[in-house]
């Protein structure tokens, strides 16, 4: 198992990646950025969520909207991408668990929020990723999107999205569960 760092996610076992971020609060604000389509679109993907166990959810990615005006998306990520899933557990504003890419895998994503003074600790875990390629791909993607979330919540300058995605993909490609 790798040692958790503030910068990179931790591959805790084959098919599982865990991220931790300390974000500006309050917790209800961070929850809104996880669950409300318009707010979530600012860092990840828009889409409806029926916030009850068994409820349907959809992510609609338009990653070019997260990039700087002069950045060009890699071909495989240009345009719009959709993914459907279901809510597994929900405990507002502390826990959201949903399935991930049900059409091709049985993996799931959990978002756990904990208040730490005026900050909020977000722990995101993506479990049961079916193969190394998926693990590497979602690891770099989650990392880049969580960086955007942090930038949005802090009200700071947005970094170059596609440069970051490539750098992170390269990092996670070289990471193994025993590092």
Helix, strand, coil percent content, the chain, rounded in steps of 5:
30, 30, 35
For residue 42, pLDDT over 70 is answered with: yes
Q: Is 88 left (phi over 0), alpha (psi -120 to 50) or beta?
A: alpha
SS3 sequence of 60-73? EECHHHHCCCCCCC
Contact 44, 149 (CB under 8 A): yes
Spell out the domains of the chain, with CATH numbers in brackets: 10-173 (3.30.530.20)
User: Which has the minimum average pLDDT: 17-26, 43-52, 75-84, 148-157?
Assistant: 75-84
Is the pLDDT score of 1 beyond 50? Answer: no
**Tens-digit pLDDT profile for residues 92-140:** 999 999 998 777 778 999 999 999 999 999 999 999 999 888 888 899 8
Q: Which two tokens stand for residue 107?
A: 């993996």
Q: Report yes or no on whether pTM surpasses 0.85.
A: yes
Of 31-35, 41-45, 62-66, minimum mean pLDDT range: 62-66
pLDDT tens for each residue of 112-124: 999 999 999 999 9
Q: Report how far residue 108's alpha carbon sits from residue 156's, in angstroms, rounded to the nearest whole number.
A: 30
């Amino acid at each position: 198992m790798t040692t958790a760092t503030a910068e990179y996610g931790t591959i805790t076992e084959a098919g599982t990646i865990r991220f931790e971020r300390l974000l500006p609060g309050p917790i209800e604000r961070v929850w809104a950025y996880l669950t409300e389509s318009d707010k979530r679109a600012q860092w990840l993907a828009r889409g409806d969520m029926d916030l009850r166990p068994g409820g349907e959810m959809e992510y609609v990615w338009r990653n070019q909207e997260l990039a700087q005006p002069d950045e060009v998306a890699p071909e495989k990520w240009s345009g719009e991408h959709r993914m459907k899933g279901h809510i597994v557990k929900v405990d507002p504003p502390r826990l959201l668990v949903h399935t991930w890419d049900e059409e091709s895998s049985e993996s799931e994503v959990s978002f756990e929020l904990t208040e730490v003074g005026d900050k909020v600790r977000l722990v995101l875990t993506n479990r049961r990723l079916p193969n190394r390629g998926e693990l590497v791909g979602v690891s770099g993607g989650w990392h880049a999107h969580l960086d955007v979330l942090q930038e949005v919540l802090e009200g700071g300058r947005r970094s170059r999205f596609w440069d970051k995605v490539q750098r992170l993909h390269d990092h996670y490609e070289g990471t193994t569960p025993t590092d």
